[in-house]
Amino acid sequence: MTIHNAYNEWADIYDSNENLTRDLDQKVTYDILIGQHFESILELGCGTGKNTTLLVQVGMSVHALDFSEGMIGKAKEKVKADHVRFSMADLTKRWPCEENAYDLIVCNLVLEHIEDLSHIFSEAARTLQPNGRFFINELHPFKQYGGTKARFERGENIIEVDVFVHHISEFTNAADANGLKLVKLNEYWHELDENKPPRLVSFFFEKP
């Protein structure tokens, strides 16, 4: 099953399935961004809108992208704010965005499904305003080394979604190659992850 088809099939149950990584990602993103203010936000891979609901609180305008019709359909049902717009987009191609358009780009649990990080950072550099920031929150490679990947249950079947392992240095090197500066890196554990490797890694990059 392709990544695109998997997420279309996952859309109906994505918010209701037990998923500690999804829940931790939402909490981390909320804790980091709540109380801040941005003029224009670009969300890469909005999914069902679980983080879009936060972004419309901290941004004057939000442009949310996803390649899954099923996921965007759920997001549109969930987020009714007038200052958000949704676009179908393949992030591996040129994004439907103008240059220097956003002061924040947000990307959550998306890049494990994208092989070429250099294109993502190139497009982020193109579309960010000067002093704009790029926030990434992803499954930690330590979890990937142990075989963890995006998956969901459909009846008695477990469907695994194709992923690519990206080491920490791949993120920082791709950012550096495209003129983005690392501002902050952090790691996160779910409360049930005691004595286990970190579940998530987050980055803040800035365009000078």
Interval 128-137 mean pLDDT: 98
In this predicted structure, which of 5-14, 22-31, 121-130 has the lowest mean pLDDT?
A: 5-14
pLDDT tens digits, 47-88: 999 999 999 999 999 999 999 999 999 999 999 999 999 999
pLDDT tens digits, 77-99: 999 999 999 999 999 999 999 99
| Helix extents (H) in 68-135 | 69-78, 117-127
The dihedral over CA atoms of 150, 155, 156, 158, expressed in degrees to the nearest 10, equals: -10
The dihedral over CA atoms of 122, 3, 19, 143, expressed in degrees to the nearest 10, equals: -60
In CATH, the architecture of 3-206 is 3-Layer(aba) Sandwich (3.40)
What's the predicted TM-score (pTM) here? 0.92
pLDDT tens digits, 137-176: 999 999 889 877 676 666 667 667 778 999 999 999 999 9
Q: Domains of the chain: which residue ranges?
A: 3-206
Supply the pLDDT for residue 112: 93
Specify the residue for token string 């695994």. Answer: 160
What do you get for the CA distance between the two ends of the chain, in Å?
Answer: 40
